[in-house]
Amino acid sequence: MFGLDTPKLLGKRRLTRRVFLLGGIQLALGSVIGYRLVQLQAVNTEDFQQLAENNRIGFSLIPPERGLIADRNGILLAQNEKEYWVTFVPEETLNKRETLEKVAQLIYLPEEDINEIMYRIDHQPSFIPILVKDKVTWEQITALSVNGPALPGIYAGFGSVRFYPQGHSLSHLLGYVGTPSTIEIEENRGFESLLNHPNFKIGKIGVEKSFEMDLRGTPGSRKFEINSTGRKIKELESNKPVQGKNIQLTLDAKLQDYTQLVFGDEVASAFLMDMEQGDVLVAASKPTFDPNLFAVGITSKDYREYLENPYAPFFNRPLAGQYAPGSTFKMITLLAALESGLIDENFTFYCNGAHEVGDHTFNCWNSHGHGTVGIKKSLKESCDVFYYRLAEIIGIKRIAQMARRFGFGIKPDIPIPDVTTGLMPDSEWKKNNLEQNWVIGDTLNSAIGQGFILASTAQLGIMLARMITNKLVVPRLVKSIDGREQPVREWSTLGISKKNLDLVLEGMEAALNEQKGTAFESRTIDENFIIAGKTGTSQVRRISTQEREEGVKKNFELPWDQRDHSIFCCYGPIDKPKYVASVIVEHGGSGSKVAAPIGREILMRAFYNRLPPLRAYPEEVRSKVIEMRLNFGINPAPPKNKEKTRA
């Protein structure tokens, strides 16, 4: 039928060849695909399974509740309060604007806020909740819930916000929490996801900062299956957050409150310790600020007001303030002299109101002179000339060494961030820092706590506690963490002769309890609670020779910031000392008139554990005490719990 070489046969043969070739190419390409499938699904499948798992799983962090802070008696100083807010899930309603306008009728929601929410609705997936309003009251939440059916997509959310029930009185020591800064996030490597959580707050200052890791707690987490748009499909796993550890401080909130009250309008600080275990009961600073403003986010106006206040309300005076200790330092000079053996207990010196060294005249505060002054009288009447003489005898080195044993120039071990070291100078220090030689005048000034010496209120209290106990007293601020009592440290002995210490204490008793004592007016007359102490008036300006000749200006004649600091450190009861207190009133004038009555008030308040009974005061000051109580609003009745200060 077909010829052998017809074009048709030729065509068929060639076609068959080409079809085979095509089939071969197609099988080859098919094998490439097959190989690729084996590669993806058999060889590398584990990698892809991991990638698929990463796609599928979403985490969300639940910030932990912060630990509570209480005072020694269990009064809450820092707690967590519920805060409410309102969110809106756009996809659950058709007319979004109408829903929001209904919400605006129930809670205050300005037109521009609605517009902003509408803008966000148009620019993000509609299942993501949008914050409508935060800091909503419980009443508003109730109003919204009642109208729930008419408000599809509107939800109430709540979280916790830090609240400080004691308000202003402890803010320096407690500190406050706030949104972590970029620096804080960098410092907390490994906790970034928690610190970046919108509901997380970090301790900024004070105990809240230094015990951040204890108070913080452990965040919980939720593991979700999510889809490509991030919508949560189902919960796979969840871990509850663990609340931070509760901390009990050694502070006495009521005593601290009382201290703030008796400061009146002064710019002042006080420090009070129980000497048994070194418990810090009071560390008060005035003026102060409201930590609750920070916990909810302080407005820039409020913040500016605080910053522009000339009395620096953020300054933690009892621990961070540095002052010349004035005459309260005289005990150190005296102890240095007695311990050196260069003088004995019978040493006397004649004070005629001034002391000549070379061509310089060093004046006593009493220009009429104290006459013949012995050890007891030197403290009781605080004679400067006596100490100028001691300084000449023993030199700065012995004074500085003794001072350091009592904590001058050494940072007190108190676990909050802004504790000052103070300064105890000697010739070496002056050379290194001022590049000047130490002169005898420096020694004389140092001997009466003037010149370069700087100490905090707390350091003065620690000094006195060490004198009374003859031990290396270390203050204790934290009583227990997480219910576990913090160990009380064993204090090593100071190794100072008891006889010499007793001489010093006798002088301090005389200063309050004998006629002509500098703080005689600030004595107590309850035989169960007799106190002792030492005043100080630290000069902040140089008095010129000319002024001295014309008569030294009285403090009230000077501008506030040139007046003397008023200082007092005291303890009681003298027969079995338990409490030690130190008070510094900035530019308050004489120590005996301003700081000493405050010191007595807080010691008595600590001892009686209630408003001090009038009978304990000397008769001549009782009317003054009553007047003070009226002025400062101190009632004999036990103070009620303060009203919450939060808006």
By C-beta, is 13 or 642 nearer to another protein?
Answer: 13
CA angle 334–338–339, rounded 5-degree value: 115
State the sign of the Cα–Cα–Cα–Cα dihedral 192, 197, 198, 203.
negative
The answer to whether residue 7 forms part of the interface with another protein (CB under 8 A) is yes
- Binding map of another protein across residues 228-267, x = CB under 8 A, - = no contact: xx---x----------------------------------
The answer to whether residue 213 forms part of the interface with another protein (CB under 8 A) is no
Q: For residue 570, give the H/E element and its range.
A: strand 565-572
Q: What does the block give as tokens for 564? A: 């003397």
Contacts with 500 (C-beta within 8 Å, 6 or more apart), sequence order = 335, 338, 339, 345
The answer to whether residue 223 forms part of the interface with another protein (CB under 8 A) is no
The answer to whether residue 37 forms part of the interface with another protein (CB under 8 A) is yes
By C-beta, is 15 or 488 nearer to another protein?
Answer: 15
Q: What does the block give as tokens for 577? A: 């000392």
SS3 content of the chain, % helix, strand, coil (to 5): 45, 20, 35
Out of 19, 146, 242, 307, the only residue in the binding site for another protein (CB under 8 A) is: 19
The answer to whether residue 483 forms part of the interface with another protein (CB under 8 A) is no
By C-beta, is 45 or 181 nearer to another protein?
Answer: 45
Least distance to another protein from the beta carbon of 37, Å? 5
By C-beta, is 16 or 544 nearer to another protein?
Answer: 16
> Rounded distance, CA 186 to CA 177, Å?
17
Residue 612, SS3?
coil
The answer to whether residue 56 forms part of the interface with another protein (CB under 8 A) is yes
Backbone angles phi, psi at 265, to 5 degrees: -95, 5
Q: What does the block give as tokens for 312? A: 């620096």
The answer to whether residue 125 forms part of the interface with another protein (CB under 8 A) is no
Written as one letter, the residue type at 533 is G
Residues belonging to the chain: 647
Written as one letter, the residue type at 187 is E
> Rounded distance, CA 512 to CA 522, Å?
7
The answer to whether residue 44 forms part of the interface with another protein (CB under 8 A) is yes
> Rounded distance, CA 273 to CA 414, Å?
13
Distances, alpha carbon 500 to alpha carbons 322, 340, 375, 464, 574, in Å: 28, 11, 10, 14, 16
CA angle 136–142–147, rounded 5-degree value: 110
The answer to whether residue 297 forms part of the interface with another protein (CB under 8 A) is no
Q: Which stretch binds another protein (CB under 8 A): 48-56, 151-159, 249-257, 304-312?
A: 48-56
By C-beta, is 48 or 560 nearer to another protein?
Answer: 48
The answer to whether residue 543 forms part of the interface with another protein (CB under 8 A) is no
Backbone angles phi, psi at 119, to 5 degrees: -65, -45
Least distance to another protein from the beta carbon of 2, Å? 9
The answer to whether residue 437 forms part of the interface with another protein (CB under 8 A) is no
Q: Which stretch binds another protein (CB under 8 A): 6-14, 107-115, 209-217, 592-600?
A: 6-14
By C-beta, is 56 or 404 nearer to another protein?
Answer: 56
Residues within window 85-114 making contact with another protein, judged by CB under 8 A: none
Looking only at the bridges linking them, the beta strands covering 349-351 and 354-357 are: unpaired
Out of 34, 297, 415, 495, the only residue in the binding site for another protein (CB under 8 A) is: 34
Contacts with 548 (C-beta within 8 Å, 6 or more apart), sequence order = 363
Q: What does the block give as tokens for 434? A: 């001022």
The answer to whether residue 41 forms part of the interface with another protein (CB under 8 A) is yes
**What number of chain residues touch another protein (CB under 8 A)?**
42
Residues within window 370-399 making contact with another protein, judged by CB under 8 A: none
Q: For binding to another protein (CB under 8 A), which residues are involved?
A: 7-8, 10-12, 14-16, 18-20, 22-23, 26-27, 29-30, 32-34, 36-38, 40-42, 44-45, 47-49, 51-53, 55-56, 225-229, 233
